[in-house]
A and B are shown apart, each in its own frame.
Chain A
């Protein structure tokens, strides 16, 4: 009886911490959005209309809604990949390269295999995308192992090697002679991994890749929090000296983590290509790799929160995109807002005083209850 009550108290206590964490997130976001509103009001010719687009565009019609989902999916992939790598304290920034190469390989397979044999081509391109993606993050890990070269630096360089190599491949081999910048097509009209319904503004696109993305999230969470390797990985992330001392092979773990992260990135790239394109034309880094870091910060390195973070960021980006398209405001507004929100999220002291008040009050209350219970027992 007493035990149960005490257990209940613990939960109540946890809540103060969680409540506050939520509060901080909410206030940070509110500040960001407030700033956005202010900037729009100050700079827009048609402020009311701009605001309406910015805040509600994704819900205005099926087309914008589809765009919102489209923007969410790659963020889920790269966000999850970064969560896993950051959990083990591995700062491999090669995700851009993984994502790009995942897309490239998927494109190649789609050009040469899928038209003849779709049942083979589609799964093959996803798998190959993942494999190549992990190769990209593996190389810096290997260089680190062999020559003690900083992963952060080599993985950054890797991204540009990927970019120039893929651009070369596009123009030397893949490009359709009838086009100035595209590869051969692998589909007639719609990308492979989507179904489209309706027309114009009412066109709704159903993305099958979101299922793949959500599956990856679930697996990643299970992996991190419910498996032996995931456990070891987090231990290495928290204190690698300790990990070594309890007999965990930190080197293997570090390499495994980068392989897994890269694989998820590559898979994301493959899905991106197959959900949105009928030919290959990337000549720039996609930026989704960097976005993964933003998402992981929002999600506190826990895959569980990645979909929520991704959908939120994608919502703002969709709004900003539509707004810039319809009015005179720059699309870059979202970057500013994201930056501001993250700044507040990472500022440890922010709102700490409210938290102190909450926790002190709650603890004193608990003490009082405990004392009363103790009296009952005595």
Chain B
């Protein structure tokens, strides 16, 4: 059935006059996994938001099973059998899994919410499609991988036949990704159509049947995945060839910049989440931290970045204990931080790109005088950074909110990399960024290292962390469980064992992370 799902000549103009989709054509068959690939800001999420009724197209029509439909709201889309898992999670953390799953279709008994029925419904769907989830667990206590599954179950409970996944694997470990893929293939067998957005082309190759490539809001083409290589796809996406591995020389580390010793950190709920962690980062080296999300990395990084108070041990930046120092003082010492959560921490959404880029440089004499700012200098430099960091925007005055996910990330990276720095904390620096731009950011990181900066890198992208790190630490259960000094020799699979806590190195080996 070739008119199972057809999006025809779709044009979408956002309120700020950005044409995110320009006569895009897209179609999917029943029971296939169909990838959508394209650079940041190409218009992938936009196209899917229209299919899910969040945005309305300005031209064109959507046909489902041969019948033109008007999807004016997600409710309508759900009625037509469409489900969507968004780029950013949309779960209520304090609710249980079951409560989240049935949100919007709450079963009632008399006047009351029927909790048992909710659990029953969740269990039923889990069982039918082979998901292993505890419906009674609170969402705030489960791992990212499970959250991802909850999102999918949430769509399945509402009877969706077409499932949209917007970058579902960006936050997953290889094992979790593999598990997800098994499940998605199962869904395909039961006749579900899956639309899969990802920047990871190897995943597209492994999982998908067909791929539609979008560039700058226009459809470039539709290919059978079996007939094309990863390089073919990325060439179609950007129009030029891209390198996947960043070449780098041997690191020449010098003095210690960051020294973390016997660190213990409690989270807001009073639970000890970082235990006895010691390591150092020296000038001219990249230290990577791998680990499944929720194993203490967040609190560790927040403590180093001055966002979280630690209670045991010490953190020294350039020889100074940072306990009690304000973030401003830390930044003056040379700390910069690309945070993982760009939406709540990394940007001031309704301010301009320009304003966001200089937000941490307000005390710099180049940008502000005694009383007044210096708009000319601000504009001159931010315009340059917009170009340097390939931020796709109309101009520096555009609201950051209106950029695509990846371009928002570039704004954050540009701001942090252009500040005075000795230690760079990069938490998922290329999450959601397309191949071309990721390559660019990684090259920058290596260059910063070569210029003698200390870099602390956290990434869920194992390819990235293996490629960039000079020393690689693995965190599990709040502890460092592995310290690799010869990163080139590790395989992703072996790394996975440490990340899942199946293997652990000896105290001695782990102690090697700390340079006196």
Contact of A359 among B13, B346, B362 (CB under 8 A): B13
Q: Does B345 touch A at the CB level, under 8 Å?
A: yes
A238 lies within 8 A of B349 (CB): yes
Across the interface, do B368 and A228 meet the contact criterion of CB distance under 8 Å? Answer: yes
Q: When each residue 362-373 of chain B gets 1 if its CB lies under 8 Å from chain A and 0 otherwise, what string results?
A: 110000100111
Q: Which residues of A contact B307 (CB under 8 A)?
A: 244-245
- How far in angstroms is the closest Cβ of chain B from A378? 15
Separation of A362 and B326 alpha carbons in the complex (Å): 48
Whether the Cβ atoms of B17 and A366 lie closer than 8 Å is: yes
Does any Cβ of A come within 8 Å of B235's Cβ? no
Query: Given A238-B351, A245-B345, A247-B360, is A227 in contact with B15 using a C-beta cutoff of 8 Å?
Result: no
Which residues 1-23 of B sit at the A interface, judged by CB distance below 8 A? 11, 13, 15-19, 22
Pair A227/B371 contact, Cβ less than 8 Å: yes
Interface size class, chain B: 35 or more
- Whether, in the assembled complex, A202 has its beta carbon less than 8 Å from a beta carbon of chain B, the answer is no
Q: Please, how many angstroms separate the alpha-carbon atoms of A244 and B355 in the complex?
A: 15
Q: Are A238 and B362 in contact (CB under 8 A)?
A: no
Which A5-26 residues have C-beta < 8 A from chain B?
10, 13, 16-17
Are A363 and B17 touching (Cβ within 8 A)? Answer: yes
B363–A238 touching, CB < 8 Å? no
Q: Is the CB of B327 within 8 A of A244?
A: yes
A363 in contact with B328 given A10-B395, A234-B351, A242-B348 (CB within 8 Å): no
Chain A interface SS verdict (over half): helix
A321 to B307 alpha-carbon distance, docked (Å): 56
Q: Is the CB of A247 within 8 A of B345?
A: no
Do A16 and B17 contact each other (CB < 8 Å), given the known contacts A226-B373, A231-B373? yes
- Asked if A249 contacts B326 (CB within 8 A), the reply is yes
Looking across the interface, which residue of chain A has its beta carbon closest to that of B364? A228
Query: Cβ of B232 < 8 Å from any Cβ of A?
Result: no
Question: What's the minimum C-beta distance from B278 to chain A, rounded to whole angstroms?
Answer: 26
- Given A222-B372, A228-B362, A245-B337: A359 and B15 interface contact (C-beta under 8 Å): yes
Flag whether A367 is at the interface (Cβ < 8 A).
Answer: yes
Q: Are the C-beta atoms of A239 and B362 separated by less than 8 Å?
A: no
A360 interface residue per 8 A CB criterion = yes
A4 vs B39: C-alpha distance when bound (angstroms): 27
A83 to chain B, nearest CB (A): 16
Interface centre among A10, A244, A245, A359 (most CB of B within 10 A): A245
For window 360-386 of B, CB contacts with A under 8 Å fall at 360, 362-363, 368, 371-373, 375
A235 proximity list for chain B (CB < 8 A):
348, 351, 355, 359
Tell whether, in the assembled complex, residue A246 and residue B326 are in contact, meaning their CB atoms are under 8 Å apart.
no
Give a binary string over A227-243; 1 marks a CB under 8 Å from any B CB, 0 the rest. 11001101100110111
User: At the interface, yes or no: A356 with Cβ under 8 Å from chain B?
Assistant: yes
Cβ contact within 8 Å between A241 and B328 = no
Which residues of the other chain, B, contact A356 by a CB distance below 8 angstroms?
Answer: 13, 15, 58
Does B339 reach chain A (CB closer than 8 Å)? yes
Knowing A239-B347, A242-B345, A242-B347 touch, does A13 contact B339 (C-beta < 8 A)? no
B349 A363 Cβ-Cβ under 8 A: no
- The answer to whether B331 has its CB under 8 Å from any CB of chain A is yes
With CB as the reference atom, state the residue of chain B lying closest to A240.
Answer: B348
Tell me the bound Cα distance from A241 to B394 in angstroms.
Answer: 26
**Alpha-carbon separation in the docked complex, A367 to B11 (Å):** 12
| Chain A residues whose C-beta falls within 8 Å of the C-beta of B327 in the assembled complex | 244-247
Question: Are the C-beta atoms of B17 and A246 separated by less than 8 Å?
Answer: no
CA distance A258 to B39 in the complex (A): 45
CA A248 to CA B351, docked complex, whole Å: 16
A13 touches B394 (CB 8 A): yes
B344 near A239: Cβ-Cβ < 8 Å: yes
Please determine whether B360 and A246 come into contact, CB atoms closer than 8 angstroms.
yes
How far apart are the CA atoms of A239 and B339 in the complex, in Å? 15
Cβ of B229 < 8 Å from any Cβ of A?
A: no
Least CB distance, A54 to chain B, in whole angstroms = 36
Chain A residue contacts of B140, Cβ below 8 A: none
Nearest-Cβ distance from residue B303 to partner chain A, whole angstroms: 14
B190 within 8 A of A: no
Q: Within 8 Å CB of A245, what residues of B?
A: 305, 307, 327, 337, 339, 345-346
Given contacts A226-B373, A242-B359, 17 further A-B contacts (CB under 8 A): A10-B395, A227-B371, A227-B373, A228-B373, A234-B355, A235-B351, A239-B344, A242-B344, A245-B305, A245-B337, A247-B360, A356-B15, A360-B13, A360-B58, A363-B18, A367-B19, A367-B22
Q: List 6 A-B contacts (CB under 8 A).
A: A17-B17, A231-B362, A242-B346, A246-B360, A356-B13, A360-B13
User: Which A residues contact B (CB, under 8 angstroms)?
Assistant: 10, 13, 16-17, 222, 226-228, 231-232, 234-235, 238-239, 241-249, 355-356, 359-360, 362-364, 366-367
Q: Closest 3 A-B residue pairs measured CB to CB?
A: A247-B328, A246-B360, A238-B348
